[in-house]
Amino acid sequence: MTESKARKPSKIAQRRELARKERSPVWLEQRAQILEKAAEVFSINGFNGTSITDIAKHLGVSQSNIYYYFATKDEIFLELVRQSTDFNVTSAEAVAAKQGPAIDRISQVIEMLATSYEKQYPFLNIYVQEDARWISSSGTELQQVFLDSARRFEQAVRSIIEDGITNGEFKSDLDARMVTYTILGAVNWMHRWYSPGGEMTGAEVGQAMRDIMLRGIVDSDAAT
């Protein structure tokens, strides 16, 4: 019995791989446009409710045009997730690693995360509104990106809170994990109500949230 030959990539797959290697300005521009429009569809329909057909219709192009840039909707979604989380995660980790008062560092993270809802709209909204536990991905990469990003960001925030508790800036009876979840829950709820162009900028929302939340965790004796 002879071994079956490996399936030959389709013509569109071959063209896609060649274009990825060449990365021409026109190809990159069109790819970015697909991501932008796909984000709009995902934000309305969610991951499971969106198909390549939906994205193609929203762009006014054929499905084959989409497949020239992306092999699956999972690949499109994964790219959007990476765009929205890479900067935030690395920024939070950099702030956590700094020397200096914990209150200044946690303030910086809160403002940075809130501002990103404006600068990265609607990519970050899409990331937050989805849940890695029920995304029906054909593989594990998409789920792993979700889980790794969440874990790294939470750890960065928690380490700052723990520093503040240890050095006496924050109340000694606080649970660092609960404070972390409270901060992230409050800021990430912005995906339900915030959109750019309203009464407040992302930075202003972050500053307001910072003031509200930190008044509840700063030790008044240490602050005087």
Asked if 48 and 85 sit in the same domain, the reply is no
List the domain range (segments joined by +) for residue 45. 10-71
- For the chain, 224 residues long, give each residue's pLDDT as a single digit of tens: 444 455 677 888 888 888 788 788 988 999 999 998 998 898 888 888 899 999 999 999 999 999 989 998 888 988 887 877 888 899 999 999 999 999 999 999 999 999 988 877 766 777 777 665 455 454 566 677 777 888 999 999 999 999 999 999 999 999 999 999 999 999 988 888 888 888 889 989 999 999 888 886 666 666 55
Phi–psi pair at 24, nearest 5 degrees: -70, 155
Same domain flag for 119 and 212: yes
| Pair (63, 162) in one structural domain | no
Distance of alpha carbon 108 from alpha carbon 187, whole angstroms: 13
Residue 99 shares a structural domain with residue 48: no
**Gyration radius (Cα) of the chain, Å:** 21
Same domain, 138 and 34: no
- Domain assignment of residue 1, yes or no: no
CA–CA dist 185, 75 (Å, integer): 27
pTM: 0.71
> 176 and 100, same structural domain?
yes
Instruction: For residue 43, tell me if it sits in a domain.
Output: yes
pLDDT at 112: 92
Contact 35, 53 (CB under 8 A): no
φ/ψ of residue 134, rounded to 5: -120, 10
Q: Is residue 175 located within the same domain as residue 136?
A: yes
Can you give the chain as a three-state secondary structure string? CCCCCCCCCCHHHHHHHHHHHHCCHHHHHHHHHHHHHHHHHHHHHCCCCCCHHHHHHHHCCCHHHHHCCCCCHHHHHHHHHHHHHHHHHHHHHHHHHCCCCHHHHHHHHHHHHHHHHHHCCCHHHHHHHCCCCCCCCCCCHHHHHHHHHHHHHHHHHHHHHHHHHHCCCECCCCCHHHHHHHHHHHHHHHHHCCCCCCCCCHHHHHHHHHHHHHCCCECHHHHC
Q: Pick the last residue of a domain from 41, 71, 101.
A: 71
* Same structural domain, 119 and 213: yes
Give domain status of residue 5, yes or no. no
39 and 132 part of one domain: no
User: Has residue 210 been placed in a domain?
Assistant: yes
Residue that terminates a domain, selected from 42, 71, 100: 71
**Number of domains making up the chain:** 2
Residues constituting the chain: 224
pLDDT (0 to 100) of residue 5: 52
One domain for residues 67 and 79: no
In a domain? residue 4: no
Say yes or no: 82 and 153 in one domain. yes
Task: Tell whether 113 and 49 lie within a shared domain.
Answer: no
pLDDT at 6: 54
